[in-house]
Structure 1
Amino acid sequence: MKRDEYVSIRKLSGVRGSGEAVDITVAVGIPYRDEKMDSWACPVKAEGLFKKLADQHGIDSWQAFRLCQKLVVSLLHDFLDKGGKLYIFGEDKEMTYEEIEEFF
């Protein structure tokens, strides 16, 4: 498994508080054992919001995966807090905080 392969991907459309439209792809990869850090790690990305995010580390693969999901939710909430609007790619209905929790 390559560390840049993702198993869970969701595409969103966004409008920044400035009015700029942005395509957002959030993704979580397959957890892997990181011997150097003596932990499990999991790749995560939020293209359109950040160029690169650090792999999330946990005591086991489950925790590493869940930390990635929680990071994605936090980043999307932050996007809304800054005046942004989010939409599931191809849909017109604006996402709420609660829907972010539900979808992610």
Structure 2
Amino acid sequence: GKAGSIENAQKIFQSIDNPDDFTYNSLIYVYGLNHMGLEAVDLYRKMPDHLCNEITYICVLNACSHSGLLDQAHSIFNEISKKSKKIIAAMVCLFICLFCQIRILSYNSD
């Protein structure tokens, strides 16, 4: 995460033959912590559908939030609602927080 090396985390991830949901979620989470939202979204897009779960969705939405990626978060949120019947409060909160951050930033820049 923040104390470690992103490059090392990526190398370890790439060395795993069949990464599981925990492995994907961990790297997506690390990208989010380090404001690397685009990398998190890219990895999420490459993740096999059968491995995606609620933790995955929270991690990728959190990464979007940390990086100010409203369009990507909106797209992913819509995908989640089609893929999963479970939209949990944490996902809604992350999306709302991101929207508020963007609105505040645009208001302050005017």
Question: Normalized against structure 2, the TM-score is what?
Answer: 0.30
Which structure has greater strand proportion?
A: 1
Question: Normalized against structure 1, the TM-score is what?
Answer: 0.32
Which structure has greater helix proportion?
A: 2
